[in-house]
Structure 1
Amino acid sequence: MDSSAPHIHGASTYDRDLRDWGGHLEPLDGRSQNRGRLLWKGDNGLPEAGLWVCTPGSWRLTLPRDEMCHFLAGRAVYRPSEGEPIEVGAGTLVHFPEGWSGTVEVFETIRSVYMLR
């Protein structure tokens, strides 16, 4: 975005120019698809911030870096390899530390603003 402060108005319903980000690297059921809008990416690729939309399905996940997600819509559960499940929905804010691993199951299409560092 060509702006002094890149922004998206109405992020909770924004669909205008979301790009197809494909499926997940380790799908469990193969249904889930990703779309999104990159808001900002630093010169070295980090930090990165944007809007992510993901349809129902499940997959294995290992995060290579810290990720902060503010969920705006939908319903899902993140089940870590060790520890308690994290149920997410509209209004949930989660920091996933680098190396977090487990499974994700999306029940209703989720929408999240995120930042990677």
Structure 2
Amino acid sequence: MEIARLLHTFGGPMLALFGGIGVRSVGTLVTGIGSRTATVDFSDAPRPCKPYRPERERIVSGDPAQTVSFAYQSEDGHFLAGTWTCQPGKWHIEFAQNEFVHILEGVVVVTDGNGLAKTYRAGDAFVSPAGFAGTWDVRDPVRKYFTLGGPPG
């Protein structure tokens, strides 16, 4: 499940993480594949996937069970958009692609490799650039919109 690994493990939100959802299943989670001339409404996205977690060795604390629902994927697969949720927990992340995040609910503390921490709450938006490495510490259950773009690094 390379798309998920890209989201939060190596790509910014994830994978082998979709416990039970294989790579071939991603197409069933994504609407809007291919050429589109209309907008894509996130409310039309498929239901979230079965919860998954970061790889055990990346988890620092808690039980960061996560779900993702992809609303859109470009034909070339280099741009994704959707909704992601996570329960409280802290884990190490490495982003291979750029990710734009808009927090809808909850609180997350994002700490970079130099120890600089930033707290994001509902209403906040930020970008994790490709190459970002650090930790995500979800303090209150998070729900976010995300876009993930650019060729994997």
Question: Normalising to structure 1: TM-score of the pair?
Answer: 0.86
Distance in 1 between the 2:76 and 2:50 partners? Answer: 23
1:5 aligns with 39
Q: Name the SS of the counterpart of 2:102 in structure 1.
A: strand
The Cα shift of 1:21 comes to 4.8
The Cα shift of 1:35 comes to 0.7
More strand by share: 1
Q: Does 1:85 align with 2:85?
A: no
CA contact (8 A) 1:75 1:110 kept: yes
Q: 2:47 aligns with which of 1, 5, 17?
A: 17
1:39 aligns with 71
Identity %: 21
Count of residues in correspondence between the two structures: 112
CA contact (8 A) 1:31 1:56 kept: yes
> How well do the aligned residues superpose, as a CA RMSD in angstroms?
2.0
For residues 52-67 of structure 1, the aligned pairs below 5 Å read: 52-67=84-99
